Amino acid sequence: MKNIIYLLFTFGIVSIANAQTVELDLFASGFSSSLDIQNAGDERLFVVEQGGIIKILNPDGTINATPFLDISSMVNSGGERGLLGLAFHPDYANNGYFFVHYSDSSSDTQISRFSVDGGNPDIADPGSELPILNVNQPATNHNGGSIAFGPDGYLYIALGDGGGSGDQDNNAQNLALMLGKLLRIDIDTPAGGNNYSIPPDNPFAGDPNIAEEIWAIGLRNPFRFSIDFKENKIWIGDVGQNAREEVNSEAINTGGLNYGWRCYEGNNTFNTTGCLPMNEYTFPVYDYAWNGGGSVIGGRVYRGSVYTDLQGIYIFGDIDGMLGTLDASYNYINQSSGNPNGTWVAFGEDVTGEMYAVSLGGNIYKISGGQVASTEDFNNNTFKVYPNPSNEVITIQSETELINHLSVFDINGRLIFSENIAQKGSTTLDVSKFSKGIYLLEITSEKGSTAVKKLIVK
């Protein structure tokens, strides 16, 4: 039986006729302490379990009997520790590399690379671990958890302030430490005896007195962040101390930002001893009162093609079951109260951009809206793409619409091609310079509506 949660999100001055509806439809269940969900550029979803296992969730809601990866013997799980995050390499279709964020046997943060089995795409090689980065954790909480590749191809890593209460050691503001930071590293060009290198445009690159991996500072426990590749923005849910929960969002290419912790908790002062002037900090785009049991879980911006009322809307949650939304201008739309059906710990998307919510209790929900794209919204029957697969030139054909723009995204949503055109009938696109793999071709019509086709380059 479906378990559906209906939420109406309305702007304060907008009539109920224009309300946005967010529905959560139970898609799969039976996971053990599910913490994350990702896709690898195909129809499969990969669900991360806290104990150290990654399982494959199929489009029909079934779960493969054999785990994709089992490193439970290597993972120290419990509380805020465990296998916390997963990211597939942008060129996963060719190299089979993926990266995980887990708590090792000493409860320290370990970032490692693994490889898919050469003969079976549904199984990874547990013996293929390549250690990338290890960070000492002075306590068992505030480990962060998210890892993701940005539009620049670099790996971003979120780490908490080291745990305890109030960041008494001021770790988040200490530039010599990676704790309480957002890191950015190049995992494709090892250097200096490490299995990664420092991007030359990192804000502190070249300074031996600073952790050069740092991209942003002043975070308390950024358990979940996501990158919206269409707007080139990062969204971070940063768990508060005991007064405010916060959501941060800035351009992903802006390095060196200071999000303020421990000086500020959300928009409130916390402990400003020795802190900089207020204008030196970047404050959240939204914060809300801590309710005595919740912790903000950063969400994602909806970029699917099915629900027009959710386009560009940031959907996020709290571990107590609250769901909230922000629009592209950071206007708060509304917030549901806590719901026992969801102990939200992550939000993810499939290869087409449709969104999913992960509950710690083992349930995966698919997110839907209240307004489904119609035939006037340039549906998939309006155009044809051929030949597909191809390694040369493809044709995009439409008999009824004027095609205004073409965009091509890789499996992680990174924009790799964009072109303005204006013609009916057909147009061509040379894909011979694209690497082999799966891409998403977004076609925009004269009316401003869009449709997405899967493109395979062989």
Contacts of 148 (CB under 8 A, 6+ apart): 87, 155, 156, 225, 226, 227, 412
Q: Please answer whether residues 344 and 323 qualify as being in contact, where contact means their C-beta atoms are separated by less than 8 angstroms.
A: yes
Q: Please answer whether residues 15 and 22 qualify as being in contact, where contact means their C-beta atoms are separated by less than 8 angstroms.
A: no
Higher pLDDT residue, 157 or 391? 157
Distance of alpha carbon 48 from alpha carbon 72, whole angstroms: 11
- Other C-beta atoms closer than 10 Å to the C-beta of 206 total 9
Distance of alpha carbon 104 from alpha carbon 174, whole angstroms: 24
Range among 6-15, 266-275, 304-313 with highest mean pLDDT value: 266-275
Higher pLDDT residue, 345 or 401? 345
The token pair that represents 267 in the structure block: 């928009």
Query: What is the mean pLDDT of the segment spanning 47-68?
Result: 96
Of residues 144, 148, 134, the one with CA closest to residue 412: 148
Percentage above 70 pLDDT, the chain: 90
Distance of alpha carbon 106 from alpha carbon 410, whole angstroms: 36
Strands 53-57, 34-39: pairing kind: unpaired
Distance of alpha carbon 330 from alpha carbon 313, whole angstroms: 9
Q: What is the pLDDT of residue 224?
A: 98
pTM score of the predicted model: 0.84
Reduced to 3 states (helix: H, G, I; strand: E, B; else coil), residue 14 is coil
Q: What digits encode the pLDDT tens for the residues 301-351?
A: 999 878 889 999 999 999 999 899 999 899 988 666 555 468 999 999 998
Angle at 35 between CA 50 and CA 259, to 5 degrees: 115
Cα-to-chain-centroid distance, residue 75: 22
- DSSP character at residue 396: E
Q: Please answer whether residues 302 and 315 qualify as being in contact, where contact means their C-beta atoms are separated by less than 8 angstroms.
A: yes
The token pair that represents 17 in the structure block: 């006729």
DSSP 425-441: EEEEEE-TTSPSEEEEE
Higher pLDDT residue, 121 or 420? 121
Higher pLDDT residue, 114 or 370? 114
Distance of alpha carbon 223 from alpha carbon 142, whole angstroms: 8
Distance of alpha carbon 388 from alpha carbon 361, whole angstroms: 40
Distance of alpha carbon 233 from alpha carbon 231, whole angstroms: 5
Q: Which of 237-251, 331-345, 392-406 shows the lowest mean pLDDT across its residues?
A: 331-345
Q: What digits encode the pLDDT tens for the residues 31-51?
A: 999 999 999 998 899 999 999
Q: Set out the domains of the chain in order of their start, with CATH numbers.
A: 4-368 (2.120.10.30), 375-457 (2.60.40.3080)
- Band of pLDDT at residue 458, cut at 50, 70 and 90: confident
Torsion over CA: 330, 334, 339, 341 (sign): negative
Distance of alpha carbon 75 from alpha carbon 53, whole angstroms: 9
